[in-house]
Amino acid sequence: MRKRRVEINIERTRVFVKGGLSSPTRVLCETCGGQARMVTVDEAAAAVGLTRAAISYRIKAGEVHFRRAPEGLLLVCLNSLLET
C-alpha cells in the first residue's frame, strides 16, 4: 500500500486602515443594509493596494458598493471591497 501526502495551504489577508481617513468612519451602506466604513476612491485604492481604475471597474461591475456624499463625492463601502 502506498501512502499519499496531502498538503493544504490556507492564505488569509487582513487590511488595516490607519487613521486619517477624511470620510465618516461608519455610515449606513444601503446595499449592505448595515453600518460600513465609507471611504473615498483614493483611500480605498490605498487601503487594498489597487489602482483607482481597478476600484472603478469593480464599482461598475457591481462588485463594490458605493454612494454619493451630499457634496457629490463618491464613497466606497470598504466592507464590500474587502469581500471581493
Q: Tell me: the pLDDT tens digits for 14-32?
A: 555 444 455 446 788 889 8
Dihedral sign from CA coordinates of 54, 60, 65, 69: positive
Q: pLDDT confidence of 69, banded at 50, 70, 90?
A: confident
Angle (CA) 55 59 65, round 5°: 110
**pLDDT at 6 > cutoff 70:** yes
What's the domain range around 59? 27-77
Phi-psi region for residue 7, left (φ > 0), alpha (ψ -120 to 50) or beta? beta
Residue 10 covered by a domain = no
Instruction: Assess if residue 45 is contained within a domain.
Output: yes
**Quick one: pLDDT at residue 25?**
62
> Between β-strands 74-77 and 66-68, what pairing exists: parallel, antiparallel or unpaired?
antiparallel
Provide the number of structural domains found in the chain: 1
Residue 79 in this model has a pLDDT that exceeds 50: yes
